[in-house]
Amino acid sequence: MRLNPYKTQKIAFFFLFLATLLIVVPVGLIVVIIIQKGLPAINWQFLSDIPRQGMRAGGIFPAIVGTIYLVLGAIIFALPIGVLAAIYLSEYSKENILTRVIRLAIVNLAGVPSVVYGLFGLALFVVFFKFGASILSGSLTLGIMILPIIITTSREALESVPQSFREVSLSLGASKWQTIRHIVLPNAIPGILTGTILGLGRAAGETAPILFTVAAFYLPLLPKSIFDQAMALPYHLYVISTQVPNVDEKIRYGTALVLLTLVLFMNLVAIIIRYKFRKRKKW
């Protein structure tokens, strides 16, 4: 039997739709399950107390603080380098081998497995520079990891500033750097911000790069300096899910919810900035 083309199309589109549902429905379910089962665990004590009874009770405050420190450290390191690298690619680079190699390097930085970043951080920062397992080592490792995200989004933002603005500024006798500093950069800020926040979200959620560079299994104290170890939310979730027996499911889901909320909140902010910026654009 030969199907007529319209029937074939109907069947094909049905399968395409089915495939899409197979991805999107579980995503929704995951978020709903975590919210539903995690929400009962969330209260002020859970957010502000240290873990107690071998992490089977109490709160996750040190892990939250640790993650915030790590993420801030990573961004302080990665943002200036990332934005300047993006400026290089968007404003200075020519179509040549060097540019091609830089782009390839960025693609590779984005593709290196996260656990390999962990190894690298261990070898370079912990062992070679003797920073030890510390917030400094972890932040630098995470910083290099999120560099490609910041570079790529910043570069897109810079390149979306119309060429004519640059030409006008230069035609008035402004120098190239003045043009970048006063015309290009201010108009690219929302895009750069989006990239930065996406990078923050990524850094907050990663576990493997911090495993050997900073993460403490159990450390009920808050870190005092950047040379201290710290707990971190993703690692804490890993620990109470797999390493500590008999942890109340509520605490696991609660921790997962806090981590997920933190990461999704940052993504949401990034999306909102991007959306508003697109609407407001005047050119």
Residues 222-281 that bind another protein (CB under 8 A): 234-235, 237-238, 241-242, 249, 252, 256, 259-260, 263-264, 267, 271
Q: Given candidates 39, 76, 123, 221, which one binds another protein under the rule CB under 8 A? A: 123
Q: What angle do CA 49, 55, 59 make, to 5 degrees?
A: 20
CA distance 110 to 133: 24
Measured from the CB atom, is 218 or 267 closer to another protein? Answer: 267
Q: Given candidates 42, 65, 68, 112, which one binds another protein under the rule CB under 8 A? A: 112
The window from 44-52, 54-62, 92-100, 223-231 that contacts another protein (CB under 8 A) reads 92-100
Which residue(s) pair with 230 in the sheet?
215
| 3 state SS for 16-56 | HHHHHHHHHHHHHHHHHHHHHHHHHHCCHHHHHCCEECCCC
Q: Which residues contact 245 (CB under 8 A, 6 or more apart)?
A: none
Q: Given candidates 71, 136, 150, 151, which one binds another protein under the rule CB under 8 A? A: 151
Measured from the CB atom, is 221 or 268 closer to another protein? Answer: 268
Measured from the CB atom, is 224 or 276 closer to another protein? Answer: 276
Token match 């509520």: residue? 250
Cβ atoms within 10 Å, residue 145: 26
CA distance 219 to 210: 15
Please report whether residue 71 would count as binding another protein according to CB under 8 A. Answer: no
Phi first, then psi, for residue 93 (nearest 5°) are -70, 150
Q: Given candidates 42, 57, 81, 244, which one binds another protein under the rule CB under 8 A? A: 81
Q: Given candidates 58, 93, 156, 159, which one binds another protein under the rule CB under 8 A? A: 93
Q: Given candidates 35, 50, 57, 114, which one binds another protein under the rule CB under 8 A? A: 114
CB of 49 to another protein, least distance (A): 21
Measured from the CB atom, is 211 or 224 closer to another protein? Answer: 211
Cβ neighbourhood burial of 174 (10 Å; 0-12, 13-18, 19+): middle
The window from 52-60, 96-104, 189-197, 223-231 that contacts another protein (CB under 8 A) reads 96-104
What part of residues 152-191 is at the interface with another protein (CB under 8 A)? 164-165, 167-178, 182-183, 187
Please report whether residue 139 would count as binding another protein according to CB under 8 A. Answer: no
The window from 17-25, 39-47, 55-63, 222-230 that contacts another protein (CB under 8 A) reads 17-25
Which of 83, 74, 93 has its CA nearest to residue 188? 83
User: Binding-site residue total for another protein (CB under 8 A)?
Assistant: 106
- Check: CB of residue 166 under 8 Å from CB of residue 139: no
Q: Which residues contact 76 (CB under 8 A, 6 or more apart)?
A: 139, 143
Measured from the CB atom, is 22 or 224 closer to another protein? Answer: 22
Check the CA dihedral 264-269-275-281 and report its sign. Answer: negative
Q: Given candidates 42, 47, 88, 269, which one binds another protein under the rule CB under 8 A? A: 88
